Amino acid sequence: MEESNELLVNENELHEHYTFTVEKGQQPLRIDKYLMNFVENATRNKIQAAAKDGSILVNEIAVKSNYKVKPLDKIRVLFEHPPYENLLVPEDLPIDVVYEDEDLLVVNKAPGMVVHPGHGNYSGTLINALLFHFDNLPNNSSNRPGLVHRIDKDTSGLLVVAKTEIAMAHLSAQFKAKTSEREYVALVWGNVELDEGTIEGNIGRHPKNRLQNTVYFGDEADNGKPAVTHYKILQRLGYVTLLSCRLETGRTHQIRVHMKYIGHTLFNDERYGGERILKGTTFTKYKQFVDNCFKTLPRQALHAKTLGFIHPTTGEKMSFTTKIPQDMQNCIEKWESYSNHLE
């Protein structure tokens, strides 16, 4: 009996860094290999050392690194130090505030800025900046101050931030109920066939590449969560297409994953293979032109252009639009000029 008490005391001194529930369709796989797919920046050595220290629990029992995970196993990874993202430090960083009142603010996030601290990014994030500029921001369900939703590091554009508990609850409910309005502008590889369309496909973590998500369908659909993206052609530019994408759901990397799924990966989206020349000619001159475009826009061509929601206290419908940033605009203009020569 004393032994189990000692275990409890020890666990009280530990901090949970990760928690996962193994998916239904998971084949038996060593836990060190499994965790490498889910923990960003983790090495197998680090995971094995954590297992040796008794820091990896499956269904509340410490396991060794050769333990084979089974469907619906509950995995927790504990360490003596708190997660770095809990050590939030205010930083005097510029924020482009598009709108602000007592309840909320709307921010136009610059490309390259991470929204919240995480593994490998402990400073320089939007949250660090928000903590400097604003007091007493409410925490969301993940203990992230002010954040109602997020956009990827290399995506630019609009985010709403809650300044009160009531605003946080009200806005989060709108995003969950899919009533918020979110429109993105994306430049994708290839000539998209239909002028407009809807992509439906459940999105979940890629089984082999821990940094990617993928579409699951058929018998494997349960491995992902439902996701719906509506798109409309804005401009056909030869070997690339400029699209407007409207999100019905907000899964991680949703537009990036859905566009790849239909064969039109985002231009220069390195994580999903868009940094290669996926369409066009084999001429050296063309390769030079595309490389030049990549240098002009050194990130995925995605911008969160429009954001709409109901104001949490006034009940007023609010909508905000922001210009496409200069790097993306310059890249589009290069393709406009190129496609004019093709005609």
d(CA 62, CA 147): 34
Active site residue 152: yes
CB proximity list for 31: less than 8 A, separation 6 or greater: 47, 51, 56, 58, 63, 65, 66, 67, 68, 69, 75
Active-site residue (options: 32, 152, 154, 269): 152
**What H or E segment, with its residue span, contains residue 8?**
helix 2-13
Length of the chain: 343
Residue 217 DSSP symbol: -
**What H or E segment, with its residue span, contains residue 161?**
strand 156-162
Strands 228-237 and 240-247: antiparallel
d(CA 309, CA 149): 12
Distances (CA, A) of 230 to 177, 199, 341: 17, 6, 30
Active site residues: 152
